[in-house]
Structure 1
Amino acid sequence: MTLYLGIIFALLCALASNLAFLYKHRGACSAVKVDIRHPLRTAVSLWSQKWFAIGMLIGAGAWVMHVAAIAMAPLSVVQAVLSGGIVLLAVMADKMFGFSVGKRQWWGLACIAVGLILLGVTMPDAHGASSNYSLPAMIAFEAGLLSVGILLTMGTRIPGSHEHHGVMYAAAAGILFGVCNVGVKALTGVAADHGVLGVLLSPWTLTSLIASAGAFYASARSLQDGDAVPVITITGTSTTICVIAGGILVFGDPLPGTALGIVVQAFAFLLVVVASALTPAPVRAARAAAAPAAA
């Protein structure tokens, strides 16, 4: 019963998360440009936008449901369920918010959803929602992802990369959200063993807070620099891949026990990577559209 409740919370989280991102996109585009050198001014400007604030509140509710889900079900199972929300994103963006979703993006979103669902389906049955983890693996995993997230944000300063800024910030945000989610999963076990004091003193609390703050600014900037559907998709996909990897490498979620299962998982990862490249609009098309306007 606990496992099924976790799946239900994951489904509700997927719906609320997509709705939150779409509202935040609407609000972020009206705020001042996100500048991490001025975090307070940036945060005030973002929160002063009604739609961004609504999106953040909905997102907070989604986060609570996510925590409940990962406390009741294995991390990889929860992320597999959340991956189905990517298709919901396109429908909501098109029907509720009036964003144009091209055929290429529909194909990309569908392939990502199939790939992520295959990853979840091929995971062997896990018993319970264990939060036990390997400390060396946890340290290496969190430190590695934090480094990649920082490098992606720094990469936006490379001359000539302006067209890719939205995607790069989105990927960084997704990775940092992944760091936070893996840390929160560990904290559910700390809370069960040592209570609130243990959570407050745990290094994973500080790690999760730092990652969450970085993800907040990177995600907001990605929503300003990129189109809604591609950047939200890349953020969610990056988070999912990071958390599934964390479930396996840190918490010992089992791998497929057959050669076929391993081949299917490898294909699923490849499908997600290729589909993620399809989702953003072609850069040459964007330049061609911008050229007449500039003239």
Structure 2
Amino acid sequence: MLLGLAMALLAALCFGSAMVLQALGAQRHSPAEPGSGLLGTAKAMLNIPFACGLVLDLFGFAAQLVALRSLPLYVVQAALAGALAVTAVAGAALLRLRLGRAEWAGVAGVCVGLALLGATAGKEGDKHPGSALHWILLGAIVVIAVGGAAAWRLAEPARAAVMGALCGLGFGVVGLAVRLLPAVHGMDLMPLVKDPATYALLAGGAVAFVFMTEGVRGGKVTTATAAMVLGETALPALLGVILLGDRTRPGLLWLALLGFAVAVAGALALARFGEVAPVETPAESAAGAVNAIDPQPEHQRH
């Protein structure tokens, strides 16, 4: 279990750092054009900051896989939401972001909540819900993808909220799919190739990344990130308890619920750090004043 907790925290560290780079790349290199479609999303990913973020995401995903195979889903998903605390602290240290009392309280809430979850978590559930759930998860990704396509041209902030929520649900499907994957013995990968959960995992990750990029590019980053946090924590955690048998240590359910609520509330308080916006220097402020007199295309802030 200690290894699982370490991997969950490592995943949060990687995802939180990647969020800084991806928001920077998505907004600086591809202006927010909600109706630009998949081509605009692809252009947002074709830059060095976004690519570096994707590399960190891969490391984070590998750590997440290890954590999900040894910890209850509610612990891992709450830890992933806690990546926003990493983003906030990294932004404050490296990008001269100002964290107010509410933001520092959010960071503290994430830390305290995750500590409570780590102390109260039992072993991962051992229920086997059957092969039907594997296909249901794959079908859920299709529904999420269709819903995102339908929401592509919605007006803000509804568009950002829908994209963020669908992104969170996509990541939630990824977490559930990982728990359903069959064991692999040696180099025999056929059980994975034949299992629909494998494709739900891959498709869920891809769909979630696309929708999160769209939420960031749309400009309503706080809205998109908050919706993502709720989507990737609440429902997947509940399904982990109901379908997979995740439990807490005996008699500590109330404390685990408190820790989960505090961690998620802290992450929501830090939702604006899905967008990393360096504090303006005096020169930049003066340039902004000039642009107000002689308007030119506004530089994207992150």
Aligned position for 1:186: 180
Matched, 1:165 2:153: no
Aligned position for 2:73: 75
- The answer to whether the Cα contact below 8 Å between 1:230 and 1:279 also exists between their aligned partners in 2 is no
Matched, 1:225 2:218: yes
Aligned position for 2:281: none
RMSD: 3.9
Provide, for residues 161-190 of structure 1, a one-character-per-residue CA deviation record: whole Å limited to 9, x for no partner.
513433432222121111122112212x34
Aligned position for 1:13: 11
Which structure: greater helix fraction?
1
For 1:195 and 1:271, locate their aligned partners in 2 and report how far apart those are by CA, in whole Å.
Answer: 42
**Aligned residue runs from structure 1 range 14-33, under 5 A:** 14-29=12-27, 30-31=29-30, 33=32
> 1:51 Cα shift?
0.5
Structure-1-length-normalised TM-score: 0.72
Provide, for residues 202-231 of structure 1, a one-character-per-residue CA deviation record: whole Å limited to 9, x for no partner.
111222222222111111112222466664
Q: Of 56, 59, 63, which aligns to 1:58?
A: 56
- The answer to whether the Cα contact below 8 Å between 2:35 and 2:153 also exists between their aligned partners in 1 is no
For 2:253 and 2:176, locate their aligned partners in 1 and report how far apart those are by CA, in whole Å.
Answer: 24
For 1:54 and 1:34, locate their aligned partners in 2 and report how far apart those are by CA, in whole Å.
Answer: 23
For 1:82 and 1:38, locate their aligned partners in 2 and report how far apart those are by CA, in whole Å.
Answer: 28
Q: Structure 1 residues 47 and 98, CA, compared in 2 at 3 Å: closer, same or farther?
A: same
Return 5+ residue gaps in structure 2 as ranges: 273-291, 296-302
Matched, 1:134 2:129: yes
How many residues end up aligned between the 2 structures? Answer: 273
Provide, for residues 137-176 of structure 1, a one-character-per-residue CA deviation record: whole Å limited to 9, x for no partner.
5555665676467547745645xx5134334322221211
Aligned position for 1:286: none
For 2:14 and 2:52, locate their aligned partners in 1 and report how far apart those are by CA, in whole Å.
Answer: 11
1:48 partner letter: L
- The answer to whether the Cα contact below 8 Å between 1:12 and 1:62 also exists between their aligned partners in 2 is yes
Matched, 1:240 2:240: no
For 2:194 and 2:17, locate their aligned partners in 1 and report how far apart those are by CA, in whole Å.
Answer: 34
Q: Structure 1 residues 270 and 151, CA, compared in 2 at 3 Å: closer, same or farther?
A: farther
Provide, for residues 224-248 of structure 1, a one-character-per-residue CA deviation record: whole Å limited to 9, x for no partner.
2246666446534532334423421
Aligned position for 1:289: none
For 1:193 and 1:131, locate their aligned partners in 2 and report how far apart those are by CA, in whole Å.
Answer: 23
Greater mean deviation of Cα atoms: 247-256 or 146-155: 146-155
Could you say which structure has the greater relative contact order, defined with CA pairs below 8 angstroms and 6 or more residues apart?
2
1:14 partner letter: A
For 1:216 and 1:76, locate their aligned partners in 2 and report how far apart those are by CA, in whole Å.
Answer: 21
Identity of aligned pairs, percent?
A: 21
What secondary structure sits across from 1:162 in the alignment?
coil
1:134 partner letter: P
2:238 partner letter: A
> 1:52 Cα shift?
0.6
For 1:276 and 1:11, locate their aligned partners in 2 and report how far apart those are by CA, in whole Å.
Answer: 14
Aligned position for 2:253: 261
Return 5+ residue gaps in structure 1 as ranges: 282-292
Structure-2-length-normalised TM-score: 0.71
For 2:262 and 2:73, locate their aligned partners in 1 and report how far apart those are by CA, in whole Å.
Answer: 21
**Aligned residue runs from structure 1 range 72-151, under 5 A:** 72-108=70-106, 110-111=108-109, 114-115=112-113, 118=116, 121-123=119-121, 125-126=122-123, 133-135=128-130, 136=132, 143=139, 147=143, 151=147
What secondary structure sits across from 2:128 in the alignment?
coil
Greater mean deviation of Cα atoms: 104-113 or 69-78: 104-113
For 1:37 and 1:84, locate their aligned partners in 2 and report how far apart those are by CA, in whole Å.
Answer: 31
- The answer to whether the Cα contact below 8 Å between 2:85 and 2:270 also exists between their aligned partners in 1 is no
- The answer to whether the Cα contact below 8 Å between 1:93 and 1:229 also exists between their aligned partners in 2 is no
1:163 partner letter: P
